[in-house]
């Protein structure tokens, strides 16, 4: 594996060919859902060498992060007159399309309200949850192989009782899950009922389960309005 600090240093090399090579080398990090390099990339968007910008447009396809899509859109705007760069951006943006079209296929039989809710949830998931639960909802691995957050695919809580799932999102969660310690799931009660229902509908759709109506969130909110602490699964499963 390439050393990340070395790659970062080479982003600033005077020779554009070295900067291009450094961007190529960073594809490994991008593919493993690493977003540390995005600060450096922000600067490379404005690189004086167009070859460097083009390489960035090509390499960003390896990242599933929302930031990569945003950056590709920014490059596209800035270099709309440059045919080569525009083409690279377009090719790199296809990665998103394929994921979204797979989701659309998966939910093709559902009613329009549910579909819209799931698609809004897909966006929210990619803005927030993805940084810990990963693009494939399997949990993002740390360097030692342990997961930052538990997998949401196959989780009995995600597939199970919608009221309990709503409570987990409202107040957050702490303590072991199936014998493993991850850390803390933060409370999300500042978000609207709709926002929470949408994101839950998305993660349930990825488990082939039905959508979550806003009323589940509303009821759970009412039932737990005096609670401030995180939940533990032990408590919720009582």
Residues near ligand HEC (CB under 6 A) are: 128-129, 131-133, 149-150, 152, 155, 157-158, 168, 173-175, 177, 182-185, 188, 199, 203
Minimum distance, C-beta of residue 151 to ligand HEC, in the bound complex (Å): 7
Nearer to ligand HEC, 13 or 229 (CB): 229
Nearer to ligand HEC, 107 or 173 (CB): 173
Q: Name the residue among 148, 142, 153 with its Cα closest to residue 32.
A: 142
Nearer to ligand HEC, 9 or 184 (CB): 184
Minimum distance, C-beta of residue 217 to ligand HEC, in the bound complex (Å): 12
Cα distances (angstroms) measured from residue 60 to each of 18, 55, 124, 186, 199: 17, 8, 21, 29, 26
User: Which pair of tokens denotes residue 74?
Assistant: 């920014």
Minimum distance, C-beta of residue 129 to ligand HEC, in the bound complex (Å): 3
Cα distances (angstroms) measured from residue 134 to each of 86, 139, 147: 28, 5, 10
Nearer to ligand HEC, 7 or 196 (CB): 196
Minimum distance, C-beta of residue 176 to ligand HEC, in the bound complex (Å): 6
Minimum distance, C-beta of residue 230 to ligand HEC, in the bound complex (Å): 8
User: Which pair of tokens denotes residue 191?
Assistant: 């978000």
Residue with tokens 């009782």: 161
From the CB of residue 179, how many other CB atoms can be counted at a distance below 10 Å?
5
- Please say whether the beta carbons of 33 and 140 come within 8 A: yes
Nearer to ligand HEC, 82 or 138 (CB): 138
CA distance 238 to 235: 5
Minimum distance, C-beta of residue 133 to ligand HEC, in the bound complex (Å): 5
Nearer to ligand HEC, 60 or 203 (CB): 203
Q: Name the residue among 98, 106, 161, 104 with its Cα closest to residue 135.
A: 98
């Amino acid at each position: 594996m390439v050393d990340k600090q070395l790659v970062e240093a080479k982003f600033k090399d005077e020779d554009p060919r070295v900067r291009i090579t450094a961007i190529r080398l960073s594809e490994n990090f991008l593919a493993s859902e690493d977003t540390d390099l995005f600060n450096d990339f922000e600067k490379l968007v404005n690189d004086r060498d167009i070859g460097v910008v083009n390489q960035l447009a090509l390499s960003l396809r390896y990242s599933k992060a929302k930031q990569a899509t945003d950056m590709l859109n920014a490059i596209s705007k800035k270099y709309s007159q440059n045919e080569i760069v525009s083409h690279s951006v377009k090719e790199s943006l296809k990665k998103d399309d394929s994921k979204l079209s797979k989701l659309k296929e998966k939910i093709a039989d559902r009613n329009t309200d549910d579909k819209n809710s799931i698609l809004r949830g897909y966006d929210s998931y990619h803005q927030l949850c993805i940084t810990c639960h990963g693009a494939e909802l399997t949990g993002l691995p740390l360097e030692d192989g342990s997961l930052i957050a538990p997998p949401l695919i196959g989780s009995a809580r995600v597939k199970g009782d919608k009221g309990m799932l709503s409570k987990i999102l409202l107040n957050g969660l702490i303590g072991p899950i199936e014998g493993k310690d991850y850390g803390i799931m933060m409370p999300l009660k500042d978000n609207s009922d709709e926002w929470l229902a949408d994101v839950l509908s998305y993660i349930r759709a990825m488990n082939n389960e039905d959508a979550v109506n806003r009323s589940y969130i509303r009821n759970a909110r009412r039932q737990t309005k005096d609670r401030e602490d995180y939940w533990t699964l032990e408590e919720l499963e009582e």
